[in-house]
Amino acid sequence: MSYKAIALVHSNIAKRGYIVSTGGFSKNAKRYAKELIVELIDGSRLAEIYIEFIEGHLITQYVVSLPNN
């Protein structure tokens, strides 16, 4: 992805931004994002975030409630 997407976030006077791409980012995009408060998330990092989220939300135990009859 080129720096144009990052410029779009910046031009909207965003205080912080995230750009997500299933691919990668050009060198210019990475350089430009460093100058701003924009985090670039490529496909590999997106997968890592997803796995961390899933692992943090796994059910490790459960309780069975039976009716009192």
**pLDDT digits 0-9 by tens, 30-58:** 998 888 888 899 999 999 998 888 887 76
Residue 14 falls inside a structural domain? yes
**Whether the Cβ atoms of residue 24 and residue 1 lie closer than 8 Å to each other:** yes
**Number of domains into which the chain is organized:** 1
2-31 tens-digit pLDDT:
777 777 766 766 677 788 888 888 998 899
In a domain, 24, yes or no: yes
pTM of the model: 0.61
| Domain span at 33 | 4-48
